[in-house]
DNA sequence: GAAGATTGAGTGTTCAATCTTT
DNA sequence: AAAGATTGAACACTCAATCTTC
């Protein structure tokens, strides 16, 4: 089964999660050790990255979701997208998107306007100030990321990225939409 | 739930995240594509697992953090641990732990009592009801997990688990403590 | 003074209900 | 009826301040 080549890892045979899960699965062989560890590590890693980046970005008065939203908009054709498209690109619920858009609008980074061709939809456009804000945030976040991952072997990072990509395309519920301007399709509201 | 046999996912050279990040890095070569994608995929995957498991566990009136806490306690010697140990094992802040403990106590799954040997600390013990609750939740969560990961190649899952483990031990701030009963050491409060 | 735990304010998310437009 | 967006209640987390005990 698992070849487990853990080459360059002198001590530290097991970590915190190994112990918790390992103990449990030892007296309950029906459980899948890999799956249980994977879920826990996924949550753990995500929380750690979040925390690290958030703390570094806090000096700029930036929340974690802001770079993500602005980056989506920045790369959209005409720096404009629809609320629905941003929703599908984000992975959060529609209520969260409305919330984020209101705050971005309040700060002056975006403008909201009703789509004339389908008045149910809302078009979101990056303002000039929003454009430079986006550029600034991307740069800052990039620096923080490089610091955070500095101690992890490059090889591991690249393999992780690829494997996570495989996982996401396998389990992702829908998203035939590659994030476009204003295509009114696909289920929403989540 | 969702029969939806969309097994037609053969090609798919690039996904949602590839596009967003790829575009950006194309006009800004200083950025590290792998790192930017990795962070986004980590958040995305974690959120997806969370959502999927939460929805399945909702039928039992269970929040995601409950299995994690009970599992930690279940495997501790004497099914007893200290609040600080649970804190260090969890990855969340001390305020969150207090909050969780209060709700677990309110439901009758655990008991809190002051440590006689060091009255600053709080000892947490699994009750009998809590023990069977823990067993029930582990089983339910295991089933949900197996359903969730069903479409991902086994090989990928195992490699992910190992690589995430490498990442965590590399970036984790401290935790020389392997989760024990009540050792009053290490920084806390976060 | 420092460590362990608790509290309260602020933030952000989900979920269900609602309103408008198609 | 159904889709898109908004709203408000409930919940969980972080952060900083506080209180007790060492």
Q: Give residue-wise pLDDT tens across range A27-38.
A: 666 677 888 888
CB spacing of B164 vs A41 below 8 angstroms? yes
Give the residue from A2, A30, A39 with the most B CB atoms within 10 Å of its CB, the best one to mutate: A39
Q: What percent of chain A has pLDDT over 70?
A: 75
CB spacing of A89 vs B16 below 8 angstroms? yes
Residue of higher predicted confidence among B183 and A81: A81
Query: Which pTM does this prediction carry?
Result: 0.75
User: Does position A135 have pLDDT exceeding 60, yes or no?
Assistant: yes
Diameter of chain B by CA atoms?
Answer: 63
Protein CB footprint (7 Å) on chain D nucleotides: 3-9, 11-18, 20-22
State the average pLDDT for chain B: 80
pLDDT, residue A11, reads 41
Average pLDDT over residues A128-155: 89
For A:23-42, CB contacts with B below 8 A are: 23-24, 28, 30-32, 34-42
Query: In whole angstroms, what separates CA A185 from the centre of its chain?
Result: 23
Residue ranges of chain B with pLDDT lower than 50? 1-11, 175-188
Count residue pairs from A and B with Cβ separation < 8 A: 207
Q: Which residue of B has its CA nearest to A40?
A: B68
Beta strands in A68-166 (DSSP E): 80-82, 110-114, 122-126
Q: Backbone phi, then psi, for B110, in 5-degree steps?
A: -135, 165
* Distance of C1' in C20 from CA in B143, Å: 42
Produce one character per residue of A4-41: b if its CB has 16 or more CB atoms within 10 Å, e if not: eeeeeeeeeeebbbbebbeebbeeeeebbbbbbbbbbb
Q: Backbone phi, then psi, for A64, in 5-degree steps?
A: -60, -35
Kindly give, in sequence order, each residue whose CB lies less than 8 Å from that of residue B18, ignoring residues fewer than 6 positions away: A165, B37
Nearest protein residue by Cα to C1' of nucleotide D21: B120
Reported as a single tens digit per residue, the pLDDT across A87-113 is 988 888 999 999 999 999 999 999 999
DSSP state for residue B31 in the 8-state scheme: S
Q: Is A109 helix (H, G, I), strand (E, B) or coil?
A: coil
Q: Residue B156's CB: how many other CB atoms inside 10 A?
A: 17
Give the residue from B91, B131, B181 with the most A CB atoms within 10 Å of its CB, the best one to mutate: B91
Q: Chain B contacts of A175, Cβ < 8 Å?
A: 16
The closest alpha carbon to A140, from B18, B17, B31, belongs to B31
Q: Is A121 helix (H, G, I), strand (E, B) or coil?
A: coil
pLDDT, residue A142, reads 83
Is any Cβ of chain B less than 8 angstroms from the Cβ of A63?
Answer: no
């Amino acid at each position: 089964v698992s070849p487990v080549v853990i080459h360059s890892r002198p001590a530290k045979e097991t970590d915190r999660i190994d112990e918790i899960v390992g103990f449990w699965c030892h007296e309950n062989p029906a459980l899948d050790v890999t799956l249980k560890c994977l879920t826990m590590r996924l949550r753990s890693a995500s929380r750690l990255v979040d925390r690290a980046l958030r703390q570094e970005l806090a000096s700029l008065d930036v929340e974690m979701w802001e770079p993500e939203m602005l980056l989506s908009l920045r790369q959209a054709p005409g720096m404009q997208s629809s609320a629905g498209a941003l929703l599908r690109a984000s992975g959060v619920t529609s209520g969260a998107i409305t919330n984020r858009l209101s705050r971005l609008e309040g700060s002056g980074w975006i403008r909201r306007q009703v789509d004339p061709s389908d008045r149910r939809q809302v078009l979101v456009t990056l303002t000039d100030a929003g454009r430079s804000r986006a550029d600034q945030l991307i740069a800052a976040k990039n620096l923080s990321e490089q610091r955070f991952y500095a101690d992890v072997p490059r090889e591991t990072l690249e393999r992780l990225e690829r494997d996570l990509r495989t996982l996401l395309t396998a389990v992702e519920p829908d998203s035939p939409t590659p994030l476009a301007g204003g295509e009114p399709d696909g289920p929403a509201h989540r």
